[in-house]
Amino acid sequence: MIKNILVAVLAMIVFTGCIKSKCDYNECAVKASNAEIQAVKDYLASHGITNAVQHCSGMFYVIQNAGADKRPTACSGVNVSYKGMLTNGVVFDQGTIDLGLDGVIRGWRNGIPQIGAGGFIQLYIPPSLGYGSSANDPIPANSILVFDVVLNAHN
């Protein structure tokens, strides 16, 4: 009987370890180049945005409303309302969507966990944390992305 309990406990530990490793994510593992970071800084300065915080990855964000204390992780499912813009002000996408943060661009995966449910954040994402050198119609290659994001809910 003790052998069966020991086997069950070991199986739970192994299973729990597998679940945890499935969502392993290091938000600072990929960092934008100095040139990309400088381009975002130049954009912020030209628009009088002085309160943006630089994330370890090189993206910038401004928290307009922190929302609830409990925050999502980089692997959470979320419901967000958003507007995505290019630096020339062109809106390329907007809406409300349910999605997993493990399946989005790094800028979102790093930025959205900065707020809780009900929070509002502005993200300034260098190309390498967005779509990089690939054009994603209507987003040109190597574009800085600007997002207004409201986190409606997360699990």
Mind telling me the catalytic residues? Answer: 82, 92-93, 105, 131, 147
Q: What is the DSSP letter of 12?
A: H
Q: How many other C-beta atoms lie within 10 A of the C-beta of residue 71?
A: 17
H/E element holding 77?
strand 77-86
Sheet holding 91-100, edge to edge: 53-54, 60-65, 120-125, 145-154, 77-86, 91-100
- C-alpha 99/C-alpha 102 separation (Å) is 9
- Is the CB of residue 111 less than 8 Å from the CB of residue 123? yes
Spell out the residues 6+ positions from residue 31 whose beta carbon is closer than 8 angstroms to its own: 56, 57, 58
